[in-house]
């Protein structure tokens, strides 16, 4: 399962989850192209990999454009002689409820997450196909894209779209031997740090302590390193038969998400009229309507967040 001789690109890998992915890929033997919009952060990430004996170089550019995608692939080829693995992690948040969300809020998140994934995967796949590489595409989804979340119209749309693209790419890339999968991570990051529900877990992580079992086991919430192992596995030859999947990981938990499937089906001779639906919909589907959003168990008393200082 060694990744020795492999070359990987990890977008948005200057810090947080992306950095953990890049470091783990390097630890398993891959040379890594680090990407971030902050030059100092990118160089520090490269230094952390090379100091540990790995190989890395940086591309400082915002993800989204075709130009950045081309730059990432060409850097991998020029610096390390090829490309085998792409991890599309770059992302931003602009959380607001629908009526407060501006066009700019929506467009920025869609451009980085969704368009950035599209342009980078298109460029990497073109290289794979032209050079006969059985490459690995690993995208990053979110529970928000699977279940929805208040105040995240833009983010939910992007993350759901990424999983939809992965299912399509798995079909299109099969003949070339290229796999495409989405990871659904649940981990302590700058994005989750501000959520009071996770306060005690994040504080423990920042102190270098193990998170309470409630978070790791009941919620499947852990550290960035807990996610990185799955990234490296999906990048390996051992995962050659795994494609088109959405796989959740966090803390001590690993999940395989289902594809959307019909939960109930009914037929009516001649089709469904307005009157028929009004008369029968509740009886047919009322008790089968699907929930939205994530539902968390109640926090134990000792893990309740501290009250905000006045």
Residue 146, token pair as written in the block? 């699977």
Helix axes 39-51, 16-27, angle to 10 degrees: 30
Residue 116's H or E segment, with its range, is helix 116-131
Helix axes 153-173, 116-131, angle to 10 degrees: 10
With 0-12 / 13-18 / 19 or more C-beta atoms within 10 angstroms meaning exposed / middle / buried, residue 121 is: buried
Residue 7's H or E segment, with its range, is strand 7-10
Pairing of strands 31-36, 85-88: unpaired
Number of neighbouring beta carbons within 10 Å of residue 147: 16
∠ CA 125-128-129, nearest 5°, is 85
| Residue 255: strand, helix, or coil | strand
Asked if 108 and 92 touch (Cβ cutoff 8 Å), the reply is yes
Asked if 126 and 114 touch (Cβ cutoff 8 Å), the reply is no
φ/ψ (deg, to 5) at 201: -70, -45
Q: In whole angstroms, give the CA distance from residue 193 to residue 211.
A: 14
Asked if 158 and 113 touch (Cβ cutoff 8 Å), the reply is yes
Q: In whole angstroms, give the CA distance from residue 172 to residue 244.
A: 10
The set of catalytic residues is 142, 155, 159
């Amino acid at each position: 399962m060694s990744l020795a001789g492999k070359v990987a690109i990890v977008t948005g890998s200057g810090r947080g989850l992306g950095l953990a992915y890049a470091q783990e890929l390097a630890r398993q033997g891959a040379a890594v192209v680090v990407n971030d919009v902050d030059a100092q952060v990118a160089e520090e990430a490269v230094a952390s990999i090379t100091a540990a004996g790995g190989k890395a170089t940086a591309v400082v550019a915002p993800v989204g454009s075709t130009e950045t995608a081309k730059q990432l692939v060409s850097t991998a080829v020029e610096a390390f002689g090829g490309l085998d693995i792409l991890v599309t992690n770059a992302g931003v948040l602009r959380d607001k409820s629908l009526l407060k969300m501006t066009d700019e809020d929506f467009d920025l998140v869609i451009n980085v997450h969704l368009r950035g994934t599209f342009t980078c995967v298109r460029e990497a796949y073109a290289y794979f196909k032209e050079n006969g590489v059985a490459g690995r595409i690993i995208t990053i989804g979110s529970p928000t894209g699977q279940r929805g979340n208040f105040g995240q119209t833009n983010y939910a749309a992007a993350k759901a779209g990424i999983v939809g693209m992965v299912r399509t790419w798995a079909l299109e890339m099969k003949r070339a031997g290229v796999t495409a999968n989405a990871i659904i991570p649940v981990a302590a990051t700058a994005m989750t740090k501000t959520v009071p529900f996770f306060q005690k877990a994040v504080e423990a992580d920042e102190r270098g302590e193990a998170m309470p079992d409630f978070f790791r086991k009941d919620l499947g919430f852990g550290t960035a390193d807990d996610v990185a192992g799955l990234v490296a596995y999906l990048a390996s030859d051992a995962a050659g038969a795994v494609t088109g999947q959405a796989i959740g990981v966090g803390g001590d938990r690993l999940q395989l998400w289902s594809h959307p499937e019909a939960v109930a089906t009914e037929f009516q001779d001649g089709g469904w009229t307005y009157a028929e639906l009004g008369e029968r919909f509740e009886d047919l589907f009322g008790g089968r309507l699907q929930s939205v959003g994530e539902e968390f168990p109640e926090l134990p008393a000792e893990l309740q967040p501290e009250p905000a200082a006045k």
